[in-house]
Chain A
């Protein structure tokens, strides 16, 4: 019995090691040419909120953490990032026209208002990403202000 257990553990250990050779592409880029902060005047508190609660999944640069190179966790993270960037990518903000920006801001508004974002699983691992009621209000107020400005600018 003990022998079987040892063999199984050995297999699991080997499988785990082999798994480490299969890693997803890392989401990191130093190109901030189109990052939202380079294109909009954003108050410090809003910038902090976006940076801490959003950018890891919604930009071209995910902050490194010790466990993000360990399979299969690295794959779970990558899935979040790929899906997140597909829905919203703050690194591409500079390429949006005003019409896209307004639509995007409204998308963000809905997710934040309904507390669907940031993801609970993300906040669990990143307590600095947790948004208090106050912080949500700050973010929503900025969104309203910004989209109002964008509309006015076109009139």
Chain B
């Protein structure tokens, strides 16, 4: 199997795993609501490294999108704030990663969608 196929299968796996997680929301859930367009971007450019099963320890320690819903409200607000700041500074996805996978680069529109989402989710948690 070519590297590309393995990678595609891995992506599909995470896509499915994440979708299943997203539909099973625990009671009293604080899971950030994720509209389809946001989910698509995150699946394309983020969750590959930012999930519990990732081999990238630094990435999953900084942000694990799979366990985000189990964060306390304060930690969730903080995580959303960090996401916003990181995106504003164009720090993510990392440049080195994009050299290998240029299609994962966030367009200005995608960046704006994520920023708006992070900001509105945090605000709604504050209500």
Contact = CB atoms under 8 A, between A and B. Distances in A.
Contacts of B126: 98-99, 102, 151, 154
Contact of B74 (A100, A102, A155): A102
Given A106-B75, A151-B73, A100 B127 contact: no
Contact of A106 (B78, B123, B127): B78
Interface residues on B, range: 10 to 19
B36 to A, nearest CB: 25
Given A105-B74, A106-B77, A151-B73, A99 B127 contact: no
B81 A103 contact: yes
Nearest to B126: A154
A1 B106 CA distance: 64
Contacts of B81: 99-100, 102-103
Interface of A: prevailing SS:
helix
A30 B37 CA distance: 48
A147 interface: yes
Contacts, number: 31
A98 B123 CA distance: 9
Contact of A99 (B75, B82, B123): B123
A83 interface: no
Interface in A117-155: 147-148, 151, 154-155
B31 interface: no
Interface of A: 98-100, 102-103, 105-107, 147-148, 151, 154-155
18 contacts: A99-B77, A99-B81, A99-B126, A102-B74, A102-B77, A102-B81, A102-B126, A103-B77, A103-B81, A103-B82, A105-B74, A106-B74, A106-B77, A106-B78, A107-B78, A151-B73, A151-B126, A154-B126
